[in-house]
Amino acid sequence: MLEVLIFATLNGLVTGFLLFMLASGLTLIFSMMGVLNFAHASFYMLGAYFAYSLSLYFGFWTGLIFAPLIVGVLGALVERYGLRKVHQSGHVAELVFTFGLAFLIEEAVQFFWGRDTKNYQTPEILDFPLFTLLGQEFSAYRGFMMAISIGIFIALYYVLTKSRVGIIIQAAITHPQTVANLGHNVPLIFMGVFGVGTALAGVAGVIAGPVLTTFPGMAAVLGSIVFVIVVIGGLGSLAGAFIASLLIGLLQSYAIASDVGMPDLLDLLGLSFARDHPLNDLWTINLPQIAPVLPFLLLVLVLIFRPTGLLGKREE
Amino acid sequence: MNHYNPFKTVSFSMRKSLMAACLGSILSFGGASQAQEPVRIAFMDPLSGTFASIGNSGLKILEFAADYLYNSRGGILGGRMIEIVSLDNKQSPNETQLQFRRAVSEGIQIIFQGNSSAVASTLSQTISRHNRRNPGQEVLQLNYAAVDPILTEENCSFWHFRFDAHANMKLNVLTDYIAQNPEIKKMYIIGQDYSFGQVVSDTSIALLKQKRPDIEIVGNEFHPIGQVKDFTPYVTKIVSSGADAVITGNFGADMVSLARSIIDSGLDIPIYTFYAAYDGITATLGEDGKDRIRLIHNEYANPVPTEERREFNRAFKAANPNNDVTQPRIVNALQMLVTAMEQSQSTDPYDLAIALEDMRFTTLSGEEVWMRADDHQIFQGLHVSVHTDEGIEFDGDNSGFGLFTEYNVPADETIVETSCQMTRPRR
């Protein structure tokens, strides 16, 4: 059982950090522009597909470096020539714009790359078990994923809190007019943040593509969960997004690893139901079965009991 | 995020009717025949979303078979063309109802559908109700892949025909094959949490208990369909359970992700599947999956049984270099449908159903298949094949890898009892 616990923790952390890479960009963009970018997960998908195409010709590492750059530039262009124009019509228009963009990107991906799963593989150099513990292997690639994510988290944290750019960005979040009056180019900052945010999503796509499979549904599978994280963490809060990412990664991982369910609860209460009971499905449900739904349950609970999210301040 | 996109299907059918119009004008220009009304057949499966690749690969096969076998050879019923109308149901029962209404309003009376037993059940019920209320405008359902036994058992319908072996038939053969392997002592079952996944789990457990009581079921897991991002946590459980084989009914992205996670974990055990091939899966598994992934299926794999089948596959590959003939049973279903049309000289679903009942038909693979009248279930040989690159004539995804058949069971040994009490409409 111990090895299950250890590996559940490791897997939870890998997923958590990966989710944070997406959520960090999303929450930054939200706190600056006040718009929830529905197309964010689509940029994650684009990252995976660009990296796949690049890896066919130049290998994995080129893809790792250039795919996020391409995605970031695309993101910046979307902000400059799309979102900025739509912005004048208000937040609802922006929301609808990103919503449409998500569909557009999905269709474009299917148009250019086809609908089937792409054979995007991990690089051979990382094709070995990092360590074997109690009969289970932890692949080097997962270790690499974790290292990249942590590296990006630290870099992001450092840039935002310690550097001059970070201070201007933070100021632009709360007081855009003042920052503009001080002579800073606020629209440029917005464009930069949007570009970097989407590039981060691109990085997540590049490193997740080989293990979570690269297919046109990958944005939809991850997209909803990223919104859950941003809302649970508190809209616009980077630290909140970090906590929520790890929380959800671990929550899902532990839930799948667990073996408890309603039967155990009923045993504990001394109750039992016949197999042909009309609610039999409910009495036999177990935790692994509902694991992927748990984040959404958490979302509902958080919205009811703490509408601002864990660390959010916006609504106060 | 299951979204509804009204524009997509419209454009599909617009393209279709445009093509039909062009075809029609060419024909009348050439004076080859009077512009006869085409026989319209709907193909209703996911053409967008998570499972789009499977739907599209089926559509390509049906379109190609119609053109290659019939339209390019003067059509059917004395010169009528077959027109395939694709309707995107996004693998959702709701969307299926909407698309069914569309098919009816366009006067289409034959529907091909295969993906998801949940969708097939909805469609079967919808069609039964519709046919009862609208005599003279009946619709026929040709199910080429939804394998929940219930469709030809308790919920069987006169208007539903299944051209694939159902899950219990397949599992019967698969467990026979597994039972022959004395090295397997601990079995892990994992599947998508819906009707088919449940059937795979329940039936495998029951059959293994019968055939190999010494095999211990060390895991029986369900996960939501199309929702799991990462299967590693599940694989961790498989490893720690000490399983030495896995059975799964997963398909599409759920199948690839599961297989990849198992392979990545370094677990070297056989994986018994229903759908682990083609549409990107074969290429993704590649060298890592060699000799580990096995499939239970009907029709053929490698070696190719007949010259006719080989010719058909070559022609298909020439027309669709990036696709494979993933589901030859679609071709069988179309051929049997056309045979029924020619026999009855009619396209009326009732006449077709009567003609299809008890039909014995020799496929391109040279095998005689039988459509049982009692429950409208087809019977043909079943095979267990392995994912490999040795002895492969027709590979999957142009990867060099494909399926090589290891174990054959002839049609008459796959016949199972049915509990179907079919209500037959009176004419």
Tell me the two tokens of residue B62: 């049906």
How much is the average pLDDT of A290-314? 85
Q: Which pLDDT value is given to residue B10?
A: 40
A255: closest CA of chain B, how far (Å) = 9
d(CA B96, CA B87): 9
Q: Which pLDDT value is given to residue B35?
A: 63
Q: Which residues pair with B41 in a beta bridge?
A: B84
Query: How many beta carbons lie within 10 A of that of residue A280, not counting itself?
Result: 12
Residues whose CB falls within 8 Å of the CB of residue A2, separated by 6 or more in sequence, listed in order? A134
A257: closest CA of chain B, how far (Å) = 6
Q: What is the DSSP string of B245-301?
A: EEEE---HHHHHHHHHHHHHTT----EEESS-SSTTHHHHHGGGGTTTEEEEEES--
Across the interface, which of A14, A110, A119 has its CB nearest the CB of B284? Answer: A119
Angle between helices A164-174 and A140-162 (to 10 degrees): 70
ipTM: 0.73
Across the interface, which of A139, A142, A222 has its CB nearest the CB of B229? Answer: A222
Given a contact cutoff of 8 angstroms between Cβ atoms, the answer to whether A25 and A200 are in contact is yes
3-state DSSP assignment of residue B219? strand
d(CA B411, CA A302): 57
Query: How many beta carbons lie within 10 A of that of residue B87, not counting itself?
Result: 24
How much is the average pLDDT of A205-233? 87
From the list A45, A70, A203, the residue with the least C-alpha distance to B229 is A45
d(CA B263, CA B247): 15
Tell me the two tokens of residue B236: 């961790």
A218: chain B residues, CB-CB within 8 Å: 253
Q: Find how far residue B88's CA is from the centre of its chain.
A: 16
Q: Which pLDDT value is given to residue B2?
A: 43
Share of chain A above pLDDT 90, in %: 25
Given a contact cutoff of 8 angstroms between Cβ atoms, the answer to whether B186 and B218 are in contact is yes
Residues of chain B contacting A, Cβ within 8 Å: 1, 3, 5, 48-53, 56-57, 193, 221-224, 226-230, 232-234, 236-237, 239-240, 253, 256-257, 260-261, 264-266, 279-281, 283-284, 286, 322, 397, 399
d(CA A144, CA B271): 28
Residues whose CB falls within 8 Å of the CB of residue A147, separated by 6 or more in sequence, listed in order? none
Reported confidence tier of residue A288, pLDDT bands at 50, 70, 90? confident
Q: Which residues of chain B have pLDDT under 70?
A: 1-35
How much is the average pLDDT of A126-149? 83
Distances, alpha carbon A201 to alpha carbons A13, A39, A209, A223, in Å: 17, 11, 12, 11
d(CA B376, CA B143): 10
Query: How many beta carbons lie within 10 A of that of residue B328, not counting itself?
Result: 23
Q: Which residues pair with A204 in a beta bridge?
A: none
Please check the confidence at residue A218 and state whether its pLDDT lies above 90. no
Tens digit of pLDDT for each residue in A175-212? 878 888 888 888 888 899 899 999 999 999 999 988 88
Pick among B11, B192, B232 to test the A interface (most A CBs inside 10 A) = B232
Q: What is the DSSP string of A224-287?
A: HHHHHHHHHH-TT-HHHHHHHHHHHHHHHHHHHH---BHHHHHHHHT----TT-TTHHHHT-BH
Please check the confidence at residue A142 and state whether its pLDDT lies above 90. no
Tell me the two tokens of residue B9: 């299907």
d(CA A54, CA B286): 20
A185: closest CA of chain B, how far (Å) = 37
Inter-chain CB proximity A215 and B50 less than 8 Å: yes
Who wins on pLDDT, A137 or B405? Answer: B405
Q: Find how far residue B311's CA is from the centre of its chain.
A: 22
Tell me how far apart the terminal alpha carbons of chain A are, to the nearest angstrom.
Answer: 44
Inter-chain CB proximity A117 and B49 less than 8 Å: no
Q: What dihedral angle (degrees, nearest 10) is formed by the CA atoms of B234, B215, B387, B45?
A: -60
Residues whose CB falls within 8 Å of the CB of residue A90, separated by 6 or more in sequence, listed in order? none
Given a contact cutoff of 8 angstroms between Cβ atoms, the answer to whether B85 and B16 are in contact is yes
Given a contact cutoff of 8 angstroms between Cβ atoms, the answer to whether B368 and B336 are in contact is no
Pick among A22, A213, A254 to test the B interface (most B CBs inside 10 A) = A213
Tens digit of pLDDT for each residue in A47-92? 999 999 999 899 889 999 999 999 999 999 999 999 888 888 888 8
Tens digit of pLDDT for each residue in A94-129? 889 999 999 999 889 988 988 778 888 888 888 788
Compute the half-sphere exposure of residue B159: CA atoms within 13 Å on the CB side of its CA. 28
Query: How many beta carbons lie within 10 A of that of residue B130, not counting itself?
Result: 16
Q: Which pLDDT value is given to residue A275?
A: 65
Reported confidence tier of residue A314, pLDDT bands at 50, 70, 90? low
Across the interface, which of B232, B240, B280 has its CB nearest the CB of A11? Answer: B232
Across the interface, which of A8, A117, A220 has its CB nearest the CB of B236? Answer: A8
Query: How many beta carbons lie within 10 A of that of residue A270, not counting itself?
Result: 6
Distances, alpha carbon B104 to alpha carbons B11, B109, B160, B209, in Å: 18, 7, 16, 46
Reported confidence tier of residue A283, pLDDT bands at 50, 70, 90? confident
A139: chain B residues, CB-CB within 8 Å: 264-266
Pick among A112, A124, A134, A215 to test the B interface (most B CBs inside 10 A) = A215
Amino acid of residue B253:
A
- DSSP summary character for residue A310: S
Q: Find how far residue B323's CA is from the centre of its chain.
A: 16
B284: chain A residues, CB-CB within 8 Å: 117-119, 213
Tens digit of pLDDT for each residue in A235-265? 878 888 999 999 999 998 888 888 777 777 8
Asked, as a colleague might, if the bond just before B303 is cis with ω within 30 of 0, I would say yes
Please check the confidence at residue A34 and state whether its pLDDT lies above 80. no
